[in-house]
Amino acid sequence: TGGILSGVLRLNAPLSFGIMHIAPLITDFMKENPEVRIDIDLSDKRIDLIAEGFDLAIRIGTLQDSSLIAKKISTARQMPCASPDFIKKHGPINTAEDLNNVPGLVYANSRTPADWAYVTPDGKAGTVHVSQRLSATNGDVLRDAAIAGLGVVNLPTFLLFEAINDGTLIPLMVDHDWSELDIFAVYPKTTILPRRTRAFVDFMAWRFDKNPHWNQIKPKA
């Protein structure tokens, strides 16, 4: 069924991803659909969509709630990074093992913030344990601390790609797989999904395609 989209879309999204990547998309969607109103809540805390009356949420990583429908809209790579200044002062970091006990800037909402798993190019799995210097529930804080030379960070590329591409952060062991995070749109199981919700999910999936811009890392030579 065609027709103009209208009504309110209540959306929850993680703070950093929401500001960097969902906010510009919302602007474009609302320009194309002037009758749609959007309420967005930005928080890294997992909320109960149904209890709190949200139509849609963006979730990154492992999904837990089976009462929701999930549509994968994109992916992001995890990548350890440090500033050129930190690497110069600390000494070269050429292997994953070199990260053991290095000052780490860690994401507190992770199940094992100071343990970073990886797979080498030849398929060997391992884990490094960093020394937890700064813990935060927000990735921007950690990225900026890494740029300031306080330690090594291991965050999704959607937070790091600009700093990597402009040379303020150096990616480490880029040939290793530091795990890939799936990005989902999740919504309650309902007999009829409002057209505005479906249209916004499709819009996100189109914009965040299978090879999103944040995964196209081009470090300065």
Q: Is 19 in contact with 60 (CB distance < 8 Å)? A: no
- pTM for the full model? 0.86
CA-nearest of 14, 13, 12 to 52 is: 12
Residue 81 within a domain: yes
* pLDDT confidence bin for 111, thresholds 50/70/90: confident
Band of the pLDDT at 134, cuts 50, 70, 90? very high
Q: Residue 221: is its pLDDT beyond 90?
A: no
Lowest-confidence range among 65-79, 103-117, 166-180? 65-79
The answer to whether residues 190 and 105 belong to one domain is no
The predicted pLDDT at position 78 comes to: 93
Same domain (yes/no): 130, 150: yes
209 and 125 part of one domain? no
In a domain, 220, yes or no: no
Closest-CA residue to 171 (of 145, 153, 158): 153
Q: Can you tell me which residue has the tokens 């969607």?
A: 29
Q: Which domain holds residue 50?
A: 7-75+182-215
Q: Which residue has the tokens 């909320």?
A: 47
Question: pLDDT tens-digit profile of 161-199?
Answer: 999 999 999 999 999 999 889 999 999 887 688 899 999
Residues 67 and 91 in one domain: no
In the chain, the number of structural domains is 2
Give CA 142 to chain center in angstroms.
13
